Structure 1
Amino acid sequence: MTETTMPADDISAGSRRRTRQKGALLFLRDILIIFVVALLVSFLVKTFLVRSFYIPSASMEQTLQIDDRILVNELVPDLVTLERGDVVVFRDPGGWLGPTPEPDAPPITVAADWVLSLIGLSASDSDDHLIKRLIGLPGDHVVCCNALGQMSVNDVPLSEPYVTLQPGTTDVSKIPFDVVVPNNSLWVMGDNRYNSRDSRYNREQPGNGFVPIDNVVGRAFVISWPVAHWGWLDNYPEVFGSVPDAEPAK
């Protein structure tokens, strides 16, 4: 009986081929694991820590421009206290936003945006939220305007460097108001005071223009895109530093 043996070169070539195939499979497995872990970590960060939104309107100019992207600290207000001057993102309390038509986008674009939203690089629901500057905390007495056109909080006039006014105007609000912020609510205003549908213009809506604290998604802290606009978002403690605390309203 004759035993047939393979040449050593053929055995070596087959072994190298199997090794390469195994190495390629291990590489693909490692890439897949890294991708899944990165996706999971990004999802957890987006859900509990930081979220990205884009700016759809001019209501916060010149602080924020249309189509700017911002990062929002979602630990506010559950773990980090809200402060006057914070730029906050919140869900519509009801009636602040008109109907938003569904965008006509290709299915592949919709799918890509959904994946990016999972990891916090896109915010498909930005149109359902608003962004304004927090002016009044619960119990605060907010009034506008005095003889110099300033707004006051708890009888302290504010000098607001972030406000954009129309040429020839000095009052920081087109309409006067005198409000006391209820418990668990906020009074918010856009920096572009003559082009912002904020608390002043929603007094006839549910909540009388006040934003429930429970509606706050978080505090915007940085402009992340475009690169030319990158910068930290200030809450101007020097503007509000002398405002005394107020007793919660009843």
Structure 2
Amino acid sequence: MADVMRSTGPEEEPRDNAAAEHPDGEGGGRSRGRRSRERKGSFWRELPILIVTALVLTILIQAFLARVYVIPSQSMEQTLHGCTGCQNDRVLVDKVSYRFTDPHPGDVVVFRGPETWGQNDFEVPEPSNPVVGFLQGAMSLVGFGSPDEKDFVKRVMATGGQTVECCDDQNRMIVDGEPLNEPYIYWEPGRSDKQPDFAPITVPEGYLWVQGDNRNDSSDSRFQGGGGLNGAVPVDHVIGKAQLIVLPPQRWQSVSDFDPQSDAQSLGAPAWQAGLPAGVGLAAAFPVVWTGRRITASLRRRREERR
């Protein structure tokens, strides 16, 4: 009887303890496999949450902070590239700055064309396939959809109360009797480098006078609505200020807001604000994702406690 007790009872317990104490044993292998499967399962469960969170943040950022716009028009060459058959620029438009201040001379702004303006100098064909139309609408939410024919991008020449005219004997625009300093003007080869003259126009309060940098290939305040006061743009039609060229990569740079009414840079928003909307969005993403992970971990612990 003593031999039987020594051969069964005392020897079984050490084997069980050894299996529990050594992770390389059979029990440890099962535990590691279970943890690995849980980690993989957790990743696939969290992936849809991360995707939805990213999409929601993108939509909110573009609705309230900043949005990417495509430039398919040559009117802002060579500050912004846009032409048939070339890789059009995509610019980050800041929607925050003009909630605290009005557009300033020299700002490159994106705005909805007023009723007196016609369509832009490009056309966007309507997709015949409803699936393609849906995808274009979805892409527009993240800034990669087709451009809107009623959205324009121009540079502010004068603001409400100022008188603008063209031109002096050196072919320079004049605002309030003073010639403008415009180093950004582009004279397209094959076109005249003489700006068309027009009589003095006093811009109404709450309006802007805007023109393209490609000075003689731009349908702007000089011509839209027949010119004159009909060419002025209401400030409340301004969507935002073009701050950065984000695509193509080789064109990545800030958009100049040189003030043509002075020899120095505009006293508007400082350069560091150019990346503010993108920085805010990036900073907001971390706490949102961190909170989501904490909630997921808490739910996982509760499930394990119930087992």
TM-score, scaled relative to structure 2? 0.66
1:114/1:203 CA distance change after superposition, 3 Å: closer
Which of residues 124, 127, 149 in structure 2 aligns to 1:104? 127
1:5 maps to none
- Superposed, 1:49-68 pairs within 5 Å as 49-66=65-82, 67-68=88-89
Aligned residues: 233
Hey, what's the Cα distance between the residues in 2 that align with 1:226 and 1:37? 26
1:174 maps to 196
Q: Does 1:89 align with 2:71?
A: no
Hey, what's the Cα distance between the residues in 2 that align with 1:97 and 1:30? 45
Which of residues 21, 29, 34 in structure 1 aligns to 2:45? 29
Give the counterpart letter for 1:104 in structure 2.
Answer: P
Q: How far 1:14 moved relative to its partner?
A: 8.0
Gaps of 5+ in 2: 1-18, 20-24, 83-87, 265-307
Q: How far 1:91 moved relative to its partner?
A: 0.6
1:247 maps to none
The CA RMSD over aligned residues, in Å, is 3.1
Q: How far 1:115 moved relative to its partner?
A: 3.4
Give the counterpart letter for 1:45 in structure 2.
Answer: I
Deviations 1:164-199 (A, max 9, x none): 22568553x224232100011110000111110000
Higher relative contact order (CA 8 A, sep 6+): 1
Identical columns (%): 33
Which of residues 23, 41, 45 in structure 1 aligns to 2:57? 41
Structure number with larger C-alpha Rg: 2
Q: How far 1:229 moved relative to its partner?
A: 1.5
1:218/1:41 CA distance change after superposition, 3 Å: same
Deviations 1:130-151 (A, max 9, x none): 1000001000110111111111
1:221 maps to 243
Q: Does 1:230 align with 2:246?
A: no
Q: Does 1:140 align with 2:162?
A: yes
Which of residues 86, 96, 100 in structure 2 aligns to 1:79? 100
Higher helix share goes to which structure? 2
1:106/1:22 CA distance change after superposition, 3 Å: farther
- Superposed, 1:2-17 pairs within 5 Å as none
1:200 maps to 222
Hey, what's the Cα distance between the residues in 2 that align with 1:105 and 1:122? 19
2:171 maps to 149
Hey, what's the Cα distance between the residues in 2 that align with 1:196 and 1:72? 20
1:10/1:114 CA distance change after superposition, 3 Å: farther
Hey, what's the Cα distance between the residues in 1 that align with 2:146 and 2:193? 37
Secondary structure, aligned partner of 1:208: helix
TM-score, scaled relative to structure 1? 0.80
